């Protein structure tokens, strides 16, 4: 597939390897689609081995901005995963891509991003209330957790009755001394085997990391990318916060029951907290923690991200429905699954549908948009306006069920409605209780639960002017 792609990130001994491993995961996913990507890393020699046999450039792209922009020019897709890049650089990249798409990987709503795609591959992403902006798409949450392809097909981990093997994986070389001190302290308290990942030596391959993780009973980890790899492998974790940007991740994992949070790396009682956490990890608790991690991370986020980026790049257009769309909408409405998920399950007759369609086309308080990709019709979204509110309903073309298009149709349709109806403050969706697919689609599109009855769930999207 001829899609010119560039990935930009940073990493190494001092910065850690989380961003590099994420970007290599996306690099692999592009390869599987037949797309050859280039990768630029702002880092030291420690990343060279990981980038072997890759189309890679290693240079300080923050200082050599002109070189970076020259390499990014005319690309179809540019992905940037950085904690260091300033807002101005994102804006330059976005404006540079004439017809291309900028993909920005974010963990904590770091800046106000320009047009493009924002991926937040974290378990707390959907709670961050990202601003809705024209031309900005979001891929948020656990479905987009980015791991290397070796993490996809991993068998369920056997949880040993006795805790015996403890792994220490704190990331960059800055924490090697802390790892040694933790091990020294714990050796006086427990008769365990301790193993430490030594980032100074090299960045471990995915297979080596998986082998190490699956051979351990628990891992004392920082709060970055490693937590997601541990979750996928089903390894119960004890988390140490090493940087501000890790805190939300650690607290979210702790709340979900996968991880015991021991506190900040510089806390006076850190070692005591780790000791306490280890003593609490009995067999039943470790078994439950392992199940939580495996349930939340399936290892396929990189694939999903690339598929969605390519779909967005290909583009979905929304246009007002016209007379020629009438029969298509009737067919979609009468699909057995659509009828089963409707409050009135009775099929709609052709004449009844024509009367309904003609009346809605004349109604100034009804907006009907048809979603298209190229010549294909993907589905319809309809809004009934009343004052400063609107009610939404969606029907997909059955040929496109199960492809995640419902979320995009809802999000894009809501944005379009807001642009056209300037006094609009909220959109409401009433969904049949058993219609799980629609419930998930509206939630992923940024709608929030706002009540329920015996028959239905109510979701609402408050739209702010951004």
Question: Which of 83, 14, 3, 5 has the alpha carbon at shortest distance from 46?
Answer: 14
What is the distance between the alpha carbons of residues 230 and 193, in angstroms, rounded to a whole number?
A: 18
267-285 tens-digit pLDDT: 999 999 999 999 999 999 9
Tell me the two tokens of residue 362. 């004349």
Q: What average pLDDT does this structure show over 146-157?
A: 93
Give the per-residue pLDDT at 173.
57
Contacts of 420 (CB under 8 A, 6+ apart): 367
424-466 tens-digit pLDDT: 999 999 999 999 999 999 998 889 999 999 899 999 998 654 3
Please report, for residues 183, 268, 272, 282, the alpha-carbon distance to residue 279 in angstroms, rounded to integers and kept in the order given.
15, 19, 11, 7
Report the CATH architecture of 315-462: 3-Layer(aba) Sandwich (3.40)
Q: Is the pLDDT of residue 200 over 70?
A: no
Q: Is the pLDDT of residue 2 over 80?
A: no
What is the distance between the alpha carbons of residues 43 and 11, in angstroms, rounded to a whole number?
A: 5
The lowest-confidence range among 14-18, 187-191, 340-344, 410-414 is: 14-18
SS3 101: strand
> Do 5-146 and 151-296 agree at the fold level?
yes
Mean pLDDT of the chain: 91
Domain map (residue ranges) of the chain: 5-146, 151-296, 315-462
Buried b (16+ CB within 10 A) or exposed e, 110-138: eeebbbbbbbbbbbbbbeeebebeeebbb
CATH number, domain 151-296, options 3.40.50.2000, 3.40.50.1980, 3.30.70.260, 2.30.30.230: 3.40.50.2000
Q: Is the pLDDT of residue 343 over 70?
A: yes
Give the per-residue pLDDT at 465.
41
Q: What average pLDDT does this structure show over 68-93?
A: 95
Quick one: pLDDT band at residue 201, thresholds 50, 70, 90? low
Quick one: pLDDT band at residue 204, thresholds 50, 70, 90? confident
Report the CATH architecture of 5-146: 3-Layer(aba) Sandwich (3.40)
The lowest-confidence range among 133-142, 151-160, 339-348, 379-388 is: 133-142
């Amino acid at each position: 597939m001829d899609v010119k792609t560039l990935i930009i990130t940073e990493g190494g001994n001092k910065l850690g390897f989380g961003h590099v491993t994420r970007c290599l995961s996306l690099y692999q996913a592009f390869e599987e689609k037949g797309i050859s990507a280039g990768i630029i890393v702002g880092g030291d020699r420690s990343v060279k081995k990981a980038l072997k046999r890759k189309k890679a450039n290693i240079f300080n792209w923050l200082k050599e901005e002109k070189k970076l922009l020259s390499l990014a020019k005319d690309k179809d897709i540019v992905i940037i995963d950085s904690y260091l890049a300033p807002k101005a650089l994102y804006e330059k990249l976005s404006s540079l891509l004439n017809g291309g798409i900028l993909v920005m990987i974010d963990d904590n709503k770091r800046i106000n991003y320009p047009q493009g795609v924002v991926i937040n591959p974290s378990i707390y992403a959907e709670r961050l209330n990202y601003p809705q902006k024209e031309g900005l798409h979001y891929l948020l949450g656990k479905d987009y957790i980015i791991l290397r392809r070796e993490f996809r097909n991993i068998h369920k981990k056997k949880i040993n009755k006795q805790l015996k093997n403890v792994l220490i994986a704190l990331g960059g070389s800055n924490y090697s001394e802390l790892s040694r001190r933790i091990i020294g302290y714990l050796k006086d308290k427990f008769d365990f085997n301790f193993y430490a990942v030594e980032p100074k030596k090299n960045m471990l391959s995915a297979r080596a990391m998986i082998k190490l993780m699956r051979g351990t009973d628990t891992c004392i980890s920082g709060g970055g990318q490693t937590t997601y790899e541990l979750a996928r492998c089903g390894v119960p974790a004890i988390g140490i916060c090493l940087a501000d940007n890790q805190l939300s991740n650690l607290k979210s994992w702790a709340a979900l029951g996968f991880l015991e949070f021991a506190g900040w790396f510089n806390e006076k009682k850190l070692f005591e907290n780790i000791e306490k956490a280890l003593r609490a990890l009995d067999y039943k608790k470790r078994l439950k923690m392992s199940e939580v991690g495996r349930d939340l991370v399936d290892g396929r986020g990189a694939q999903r991200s690339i598929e969605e980026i390519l779909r967005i790049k290909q583009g979905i257009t929304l246009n007002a429905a016209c007379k020629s769309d009438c029969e298509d909408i009737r067919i979609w409405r009468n699909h057995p699954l659509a009828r089963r998920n409707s409050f009135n399950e009775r099929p709609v007759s052709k004449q009844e549908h024509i009367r309904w369609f003609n009346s809605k086309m004349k109604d100034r308080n009804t907006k009907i948009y048809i979603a298209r990709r190229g010549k294909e019709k993907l589905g319809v979204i309809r809004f009934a306006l009343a004052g400063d509110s609107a009610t939404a309903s969606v029907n997909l073309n059955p040929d496109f069920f199960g492809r995640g298009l419902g979320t995009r149709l809802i999000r894009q349709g809501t944005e379009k409605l807001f642009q056209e109806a300037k006094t609009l403050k909220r959109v409401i969706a009433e969904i049949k209780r058993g219609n799980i697919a629609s419930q998930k689609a509206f939630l992923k599109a940024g709608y929030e639960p706002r009540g329920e009855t015996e028959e239905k769930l109510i979701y609402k999207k408050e739209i702010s002017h951004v």
